Structure 1
Amino acid sequence: MQEALDAYSKATGTTIVCSNELIKGKNSPGAQNTSAGDALQQILQGTGLTFEMADNNTAILKEKKSTEKSELQQNRMKTNLEEVTVTAQKREENVQEVPISMTVFNEFAIEDRKIESIQDVASYTSNLALIPKGAITYLPSIRGISSTIGTSSQATSIIIDGIPVSNAGGFNLTLMGIERIEVLKGPQGTLYGKDTEAGVINIITKQPDNETRGKAGVEFGEDSKKKYTFSASGPIVEDKLFLGVSAKHYLLFDSRRYTKSGKPYQ
């Protein structure tokens, strides 16, 4: 390395500025039949060094670790950032190009977080809350905006495959066979109509196709909890008619309401 730099400096009249530690132990492939600037680049090729011209006759050698690190970080970002497609505006778009504040859960996020109800969606969504309105109904609130208790209308609607569910009982739905959930925050009346002053929970179910799929699950827990789930989809007539079904059976024994013999408290 030192011999190649000395030869270059003698041939071009360029002063090379560097520390001995910087070039110690490094080997150079040398340079042949090229211009002065290209020759120095060839000499430094594969050494992890680069140079900067202080003036026409002085070259300062330095490490190029920062550049390599920046390129590595950019490559990692390109690898890790997957394109998320949403239909918030009733057409397929990249989520980064949609001018709507939203939280999106894809199929993998739904399974990873064990999202099985709208209440679970609220647990993982900022500015979304479900206020109990009765035994099986909830009053949704997005950014603090909700309808008045006692009214039949809602400030937030659930849309399932393009079909609105405005009734308060819809917020007690069990979610199975879901491909994507989009929580749109802010008024959405232009695209989704009434009952969307606060926002929309847009649910897209998995569509069956020519591939046959099936999934079953069993869970047991305290208080004699038992949960059985099953889903299957596939073609009935290939490329023409498809079928998809999902089912869940849930049992929970509340020990606080029964005696040790299994009889209810009077």
Structure 2
Amino acid sequence: MTWRVIQALLLVTLSAAVSVLLFFAVSEGKGDGRRLATHDPGAPVVQTRAELADSRRAGSNVALHPQQPSGRLDSPSQRRWSEQQVEATLAGLPVDEQGNLQPGRELRAVLDTVFLGGDASLTLAELAWLQQQVIAVMPDTAGRQAADVMERYFHYSNMYRDLSGSFQQRSGVEALASGQQQLARLRRDYLGEALANALFADEERMARVTLHNMRTQMNTRLDDTEKAEQWQWLTGEPADPEGDE
């Protein structure tokens, strides 16, 4: 692949990435003092937040797809999901030989669908019902772990919805980088370091690569050869700075 072709493809990628990163540019100071409390499996879930932005994920094939929210769960018709839907979805979550839940892409897809897939956030009653179903369906350790993850994601997703109205249309690479850093901190505040890394590491690495590429392309002190070297260092893919005529 020639360096000129790579440049063209990179510019298209950067244009799309700017739109995504602008959405993630969180206002300074948001989320301070709103840490997730230590989880007690026997305690009720605390505080809910306002409406959430629609899910940004597409193509998910998980079984849970929220319908209209319900304030009461006295009958199956008042729930967003049936017990069969919950069981079918949980069956696809990976568990290791020791019975521990393995957070990753599959779990992220389920969490995004459940907590970010509808027009309104889950109620406390809905979260409690889901946790009960999870513990009943999944193996002991994995069930408790999944219930804990759901509570953490409940708090994270509600704060994410709250902040969606405060996202600013920032311009400039450094402003975008600042917004991405704030989003990463928000995830770790509510999910914890290990869980946030398991769920978002690939996405966050892509954002860092995109920002690095943007800085490289905007650096007027670098010629095409040096930019090609930066590309190869970053991606491991060789580039021909001369190109084909």
TM-score range normalised by the length of the shorter chain: under 0.3
Structure whose residues are more often strand by fraction: 1
- TM-score, normalized by length of structure 1? 0.21
Structure number with the higher helix fraction is: 2
Which protein, 1 or 2, shows the higher relative CO under an 8 Å CA cutoff with sep ≥ 6? Answer: 2
